[in-house]
Copies of this chain bind each other. A is one copy, B any other.
Amino acid sequence: MAERAPRYAEDYQPGEVFDLGFYDMTREEILEFATRWDPQPFHIDDEAARSTRYGGIIASGWHTGLVMLKLMMRGFICAQTSIGSPGQDEMRFLKPVRPGDRLHGRVEVNGVRLSRSQPDMGFVSNTATLTNQKGELVFRMKSTSIFRTRPGMQGV
């Protein structure tokens, strides 16, 4: 990807939508992640998972959340201006994510607020979603990303 110009807090507009592209959920990565961080039987054990309501292995919701983060860093969060995040709201695992699923990411800007106390910071609230290859919404998260404001605008 070509180097992009920095995108500052003021450059994000309420209502703006970012298409984040696709991510393929492999069985290998689902097992690797869950074994390390979320080793519940329905994430890591084929036989145990088959007898659950899920009918087979599903990805850890946290893994799906991190895929959302990776897609957001690819197409939404500007690495040159990002300062981090105060947290997430309403992280929802809406449908099981299974090995072989192809997820499509999207994020919409809900609001932009420049900090009064720290004028070099702006808060961009957003709703990020993942849809699977059947068009089913599988994941939704509301969060806030913090970006630097445009240089020279401080104290104006």
Which residues of A are at the interface with B, using a C-beta cutoff of 8 A? Answer: 37-42, 52-53, 61-62, 65-66, 69-70, 73, 79, 82-93
Residues of B contacting A38 in the complex (Cβ-Cβ under 8 angstroms): 66, 69, 73
Q: In angstroms, how far is the closest chain B Cβ from the Cβ of A105?
A: 15
Q: State whether B89 touches A90 (Cβ < 8 A).
A: yes
A139 to chain B, nearest CB (A): 9
Which of B42, B69, B70, B87 interacts with A90 by CB under 8 Å? B87
CA distance A153 to B88 in the complex (A): 36
A-side interface mostly: mixed
A87 contacts across to B, CB distance below 8 A: 61, 90-93
B91 near A88 with CB under 8 A, answer: yes
Contact B93 A40 (CB under 8 A): no
Residue ID in chain B nearest A40 by CB atoms: B82
Q: Are B79 and A69 in contact (CB under 8 A)?
A: no
List residues of chain B with CB within 8 A of the CB of A66: 37-38, 62
Task: Check if B70 sits within 8 Å of A84, measured CB to CB.
Answer: no
Residues of chain B within 8 A (CB-CB) of A37 are 66, 69-70
**A77 and B89 alpha carbons, distance in the complex (Å):** 22
A90 — which chain B residues lie within 8 A by C-beta?
87, 89
Bound complex: CA A106 to CA B62 (Å): 20
Can you list 10 A-B contacts (CB < 8 A)?
A38-B66, A39-B73, A40-B73, A42-B83, A42-B84, A52-B83, A61-B84, A87-B91, A87-B92, A91-B91
